[in-house]
Amino acid sequence: NKQDGVVIRYDTLSQLYKPELRTKFIVHGFLHNANKKWVLDMKDALLKVEDQNVITVDWSKGNGFPYTQATANTQIVGAEIARLVNSMIANKGAKASDFHLIGHSLGAHIMGYAGSRIKGLARITGLDPAGPYFENTDPVVRLDPSDAKYVDAIHSDGSSTLQIGLGLMQPLGHADFYPNGGKVQPNCPQTSDKLINAIFNLISLDINGVEEGIGCNHMAAVTYFQESIENANCQYTAFQCDSKDNFDNGKCLTCSSKGCNRMGYWSDPAKESGSLFLKTDSPLKNTFCMQNFRVKLASNTKYNQARGTFKIAFKTANGDTSKQFVLDDSETTFKSGSTNTKLLSIAETRVNNLIESVYISYTKTTNFLSSWLYDSSWSFSTIEVFSGDDQHNARFCSTSDTIQSTFVEFKKC
């Protein structure tokens, strides 16, 4: 725990270290240090969930301005971590398969440098790996899949440097997770261009101002990972997909025979790999996980076309009714006899395959120029709801052939 923590070197390992247990390393990135709240909170969460060794690395004497020098120093820090781990293996009887290295931003690449020097290392987790000077470089320069048996990365601030992002979108591991598309997180501002200019130039800023600038998108990966450690109710189920657009259109919720993977601490090398997408709630909230559903709506031929706000709610087997969620807000033109697929991501206590009824309402768009084109009522013959978390599909049939602003029930059929 925090009180019992001691400073160690590769040649003076503390008696607190237990080689028979698994070991986690945590390393910060640019401008941070090992006493940052997130580092201490993550250490506490790791110790709470499992009896293990947790080692935090402080390289704050070498991670300040200019950014170019900090990037160069990552190689030295990585070599020193590898020296420590290899000493634990050689002198204490530890096994490389028991080590998991966790790094944020520049720290992700530090762990890559360390892993390339540790034969048989179990896992590296990169939390929004830094983009500037690393994206699209040779694998030897950055975190890559050869650095450990399992490399997973969470991308949360992956807009290109020209678009003011501090992370990267390039896949770096066996499993790369892209919450909310991986570029901008819900309710987070894009990193300011003033901050980017400061990082690339030799300007020394007020550190708190810099912290504030990188505090949301870039730190979101840390927030999500930390939440995943202890919160068993938050699955963070992620889905293999080739693009954010396809995921947002509900095309990627079906998992292979390997099974869905999970973003965060409980990510599993035996599960699906590659580029994995999911939706989360805002990292500014207290809990961030969401359930993802594919909702397939089959329109009948009673009306011509509809555009407006469609809302949906669920009733479960125990009689509980969910909140109302917006399924489509004037984004889609529903046409007679068509089938439309929507992704519904909800932040709510688990709604699972016990859904007994679905409720739908429709309010026509009030756009003055185009509202005359659309019917004020609509009709669906069936609605299918597929749960990404449970991989379960249910079909519901209408109890009314007219849907308006009052909710109409669809019962399981």
Candidates 28, 32, 104, 105; catalytic one: 105
Rounded to 5°, angle at Cα 407 from 397 and 378: 70
Interstrand relation of 308-316 and 334-335 (parallel, antiparallel or unpaired): unpaired
Distance CA 164, CA 235 (A): 30
* Residue 105 falls in the annotated catalytic set: yes
Sole residue written with tokens 């292979």:
256
User: By the 8 A CB rule, do 397 and 385 touch?
Assistant: no
Which listed residue (128, 157, 176, 328) is catalytic? 128
Strand locations in 284-402 (E)? 291-299, 305-306, 308-316, 325-329, 334-335, 339-346, 355-364, 380-387, 392-398
114, 86 contact by CB (below 8 A): no
> Which of 32, 155, 218, 398 is labelled catalytic?
218
The yes-or-no answer on residue 128 being catalytic is yes
> Which amino acid type is present at position 162?
L
Tokens of 242: 């080739």
Alpha carbons 234 and 257: distance in angstroms, whole number: 22
Q: Which two tokens stand for residue 246?
A: 């396809």
Say if residue 31 is exposed, middle or buried (CB neighbours under 10 Å; 0-12, 13-18, 19+). buried
Give 210-249 as a DSSP string.
Answer: HHHHTTTHHHHHHHHHHHHHH-TT---EEEE-S-HHHHHT
Cβ burial, residue 120 (10 Å; 0-12/13-18/19+): exposed
What phi, psi does 115 have (nearest 5°)? Answer: -60, -35
| 361 DSSP 8-state letter | E
How many Å apart are CA 305 and CA 322, to the nearest integer? 28
Q: Say whether 104 is catalytic.
A: no
Is the CB of residue 299 less than 8 Å from the CB of residue 339? yes
CA neighbours within 13 Å on the CB side: how many for 108?
A: 32
Q: Give the catalytic positions in this structure.
A: 105, 128, 218
